[in-house]
Chains A and B, each alone.
Chain A
Amino acid sequence: MFSAKGVLGLRRRFTNHLFTAAAAMASLLVLAPLFAIFGYLLYKGLGSVNWAFLTHTPKPIGETGGGMANAIVGSGLILAIASAIGIPLGIGAGIYLSEYGKSRYAQVVRFTADVLNGVPSIVMGIAVYALVVIPQGHFSAFSGGVALGIMMIPTIARTTEEMLAMVPNVIREAALGLGIPQWRTTLSITLRTATSGVITGVMLAFARIAGETAPLLFTAFGNQYWSLKPNQPTAALPLQIYVYAISPFDEWHRQAWAGALVLIAIIVGAVSIVRVIAARHRVSHSA
């Protein structure tokens, strides 16, 4: 402190301020694209999101109007299949890791889950193409769901594990002390206590796969018409946005922005629900 007024102190204080300013600038610079993206989405998308967009299928090239109704519904179908595969397996794996996971094997699973989480989604797409699409002989909503579903497993497994690990052991011991079998304790006591945390993990995984495009390119493939059959090529919102964005037509560009706005609304909706649940979770924990 005593050198703070000297020449050396001046230089050090200057460096201190310089780096504080630099860090603040970095934060501003990082947030700028976020505001730019949301701003443009609203600016370009709001004008094009209307009732027709939400209820009609695409029109042929050159005609105005039409919408992405089939893509929105198709996305819903694919995401439902993905959730049916990914959520139970993910939560189950998370329970195993947290409640029985002291072995070396569990450590391997943990590590694999983390590595799997970093495997590019397009590679998942190729693998599912080879596993499902080739034997089936055609593209399908089911294969798209499988690709997205297996992407959910590692994320959900790790967040579930983390949330279950946060439940105090005293609660487990109290339940076991009452003579409740361990499996029942895990399901009705431990998992119940951690419900909001587990839901948070599930929603985050859902938000992440909802916008995935790459693995759907050669699994769900896309479709210009209505299709609700899980074994048929199916349109998906991110795919449709991609196709429209790289097309040379202004009308399609307009629709791509509208589709992007709908997609981001779904995802931000999911993430905000998570924030609300997480906030409530924290309160209940401290209470």
Chain B
Amino acid sequence: MTAPAQGEEPEKPQQDSSEEVPRTVSGRERRIALRVNWRTKFAEHTFKYAMLACSLAVLAVMVLIFVQLVLHSKLSLQQFGFKFFTGSTWDPVSGDFGAWPFIFGTLLSSLVALVIAVPLAVGVAVFVTEMCPRPLRGFISFMVELLAAIPSVIYGLWAIFILAPLLRQYVEPWLGKYFGWTGLFTGPAYGIGMLAAGVILAIMIIPIISSITREVMQVVPQQQREGVLALGATRWEMIRMGVLRNARAGIFGAVILGLGRAIGETMAVTMVIGNRPAVAKSLFAPGYTMASVIANEFSEATDDLYLSALVEIGLALLIVTVIVNACARLLVWSITRGTPSRSYV
């Protein structure tokens, strides 16, 4: 601590602010003091504004994305209006574009993903924070975080060659036999289809849901747990009444964040959903999502209207994910009091 002080020694008397330079110093010393002070202030302001500029970049990126997407989808916005989102023909040759099959595919695959992921993710979070022996705690949370580090394209690769055949051979025939009456599991089992997309999405969004759930559960005061336990509750009753009840807004936020991820997920879904713009009730049938139609057709789109229709789908994706994420962040922030999220998965 003394070393830097020594280095600064010669400047020390001049560090006082200009207004307070004592009258007793000579004119020359006073001029030096003022000059150094001006220089310090200049550096101070330069640094502050440079950092401010960096923070402006965050806002600029957001605005630029939005403006560019609106500009480049103008053609399609004018041509189709709101009908774009309800029409179900997608015919690049005759220039007729309706995005409903893609919206349907995005909604259905995300819904399937949530149904599978939410109980599992909350289960992991409960197990890690409240139940599991201490030495295992770090290991399991590291493993779950590792799941988040796997790139989407590798999930897709695995899903094509391992998950889809597994679904085709074992899971889908079984589901068809026992739950075919629901209408959700009918038709030929291709393996590739809505169900495969939902399962792979579920695996991908579990880490974010579970790590944020864990975060909000940790914020629940220890006294809550002790209080419920002191009333004679079992551990599960303590978790249900003392922890989950208090953290439910945050958990809901975590689920919505997971939904946001599922909606925007592109590569893995594109690789296993089958890419057919059809609206089918059965989860075995192939489908198409908003993100995957952009991924597949964007670089092939030749005429302007086709391209702007794809950009409009992107714009819809942007608006939906911004709204979903904003809601989720507000919910999570209300629990964790605005501290930045630890989990950037």
Contacts and interface: CB of A to CB of B under 8 A. Distances in A.
Contact of B54 (A27, A92, A165): A92
A116 B234 contact: no
Given A182-B44, A246-B160, A263-B154, A155 B264 contact: no
A181 B52 contact: no
A119 interface: yes
A200 B235 CA distance: 36
Contacts of B266: 120-122, 213-214
A88 B55 CA distance: 11
A178 B12 CA distance: 8
Given A16-B234, A37-B158, A127-B65, A92 B51 contact: yes
A69 interface: no
Interface in A75-113: 88-93, 95-97, 99-101, 106-113
Contacts of B203: 33
A117 interface: yes
A150 B291 contact: no
A123 B69 contact: yes
A284 interface: no
B11 A183 contact: no
Interface string A144-185: 000000100111011101100100000000110011111110
Contact of A126 (B162, B206, B294, B321): B294
Interface in B147-166: 147, 149-158, 160-162
Interface string B316-336: 011001101110110000000
B15 interface: yes
B32 interface: no
Contacts of B150: 34, 37, 211, 264, 267
Interface stretch (B82-90, B94-102, B120-128, B173-181): B120-128
Max count, chain A CB within 10 A of own CB: residue among B55, B150, B239, B321: B55
14 contacts: A13-B234, A15-B237, A18-B236, A23-B127, A27-B123, A27-B124, A37-B155, A116-B58, A125-B298, A159-B340, A208-B149, A213-B153, A245-B157, A271-B145
Interface of B: 1, 4-5, 8, 11-12, 15, 40, 43-44, 46-48, 50-55, 57-59, 61-62, 64-65, 68-69, 71-72, 119-124, 126-128, 131-132, 140, 142-147, 149-158, 160-162, 203, 206, 210, 232, 234-237, 239, 257, 260-261, 263-267, 271, 291, 294-295, 298-299, 310-311, 314, 317-318, 321-322, 324-326, 328-329, 338-342, 344
Interface of A: 1-3, 12-13, 15-16, 18-20, 22-27, 29-31, 33-34, 36-37, 40-41, 44, 88-93, 95-97, 99-101, 106-127, 129-131, 150, 153-155, 157-159, 161-162, 165, 174-175, 178-184, 186-187, 201, 204-205, 207-208, 210-214, 217-218, 221, 238, 241-242, 245-246, 253, 256-257, 260, 263-264, 267-268, 271, 275
